[in-house]
Amino acid sequence: MIAEAYRDMYGRDLITDLKENLSHHFKEVMVGLMYPPASYDAHELWHALKGVDTEEKCLIDILASRSNMEIFQMKEAYLMQYNNDLQQDIDSETSGHFRDTLMNLAQGTRLEGYADPCTATQDAMILWEACQQKTGEHKNMLQMILCNKSYQQLWMVFQEFQNISGQDIVDAINDCYDGYFQELLVAIVLCVRDKPSYFAYRLYNAIHDFGFHNKTVIRILIARSEIDLMNIRQRYKERYGKSLFHDIKHFASGHYESALLAICAGDAEDY
């Protein structure tokens, strides 16, 4: 609405003016805030797929966590903004079982809200066999279950998996697989269990393990700012002892810091 008013009043495009007059990470934040959620996801996916190097972790963060409706809207935005088909670009820019799982997620065909306790044990057995056998066929079955069953169904499946194997599903995946395929499977499981906790974990790693990975911090704060950022902040503080606000303030600076903190907000004790 602000962008429309800006165009009406001054005859100029606000995003273009922001790009021309700002710089570095501060520009990335302010321009990113101008996109509607689906358009922002499309923007991030395009750059992750079409940049100099494919940014697999960006693909994982977005496609492992979005609902069917969010995926449908981002595919529409991707086509409109870049005149490309998202699934075709995933197919051409990634490979192996990682690609197959991303392609499955990008279909947006998860059975949301549907749960069948009668098949939970059967699904858990399939997952257990997939972790034991590790053949191409078993990998396909594993990703089919994780990408297409509802969150409610998967909650029961993970519990049955624990009962059958005596092992948590995340530990089993980590033991049996590696690379970006393993990271994607774990991300799906963590999002099923608690999406805000997953993003708190990703933010903490981006801030502490990679010397402040700016792209990841910016992407998560903007993408979740109108969805569940308050919950992410809460999980972050519960899990890591310090607030997200505190850690951003410690690592960022200048207008960039001010912009991130304005999105993040904070409790009185965080200042």
For 168-209, write each residue's pLDDT tens digit.
999 999 998 889 999 999 999 999 999 999 999 999 999 998
Say yes or no to pLDDT of 260 above 90: yes
Domain count, the chain: 3
211 known member of a binding site: yes
Residue 97 and residue 137 in one domain = no
Residue 1 and residue 102 in one domain = yes
CA dihedral 160, 161, 165, 168 (to 10 degrees): -120
In the prediction, which pLDDT does 117 show?
84
Query: What DSSP assignment string belongs to 258-270?
Result: HHHHHHH---GGG
CB-CB contact of 263 with 232 (8 Å)? no
Share of the chain above pLDDT 90, in %: 82
> pLDDT band at 266, cuts 50/70/90?
low
In the prediction, which pLDDT does 139 show?
82
Query: Which pTM was predicted?
Result: 0.93
**Which of these three, 176, 193, 210, is where a domain ends?**
193
At position 167, the amino acid (one-letter code) is Q
Residue 100 and residue 136 in one domain = no
Which residue segment(s) compose the domain that 159 sits in?
117-193
What are the start-end ranges of the H helices in 108-253? 117-133, 136-148, 151-165, 169-176, 179-204, 214-224, 229-240, 244-251
For 39-68, write each residue's pLDDT tens digit.
999 999 999 999 777 899 999 999 999 999
Q: Which CATH number goes with the domain that contains 161? A: 1.10.220.10
Say yes or no to pLDDT of 140 above 90: no
Residue 3 domain-assigned?
yes
In the prediction, which pLDDT does 67 show?
96
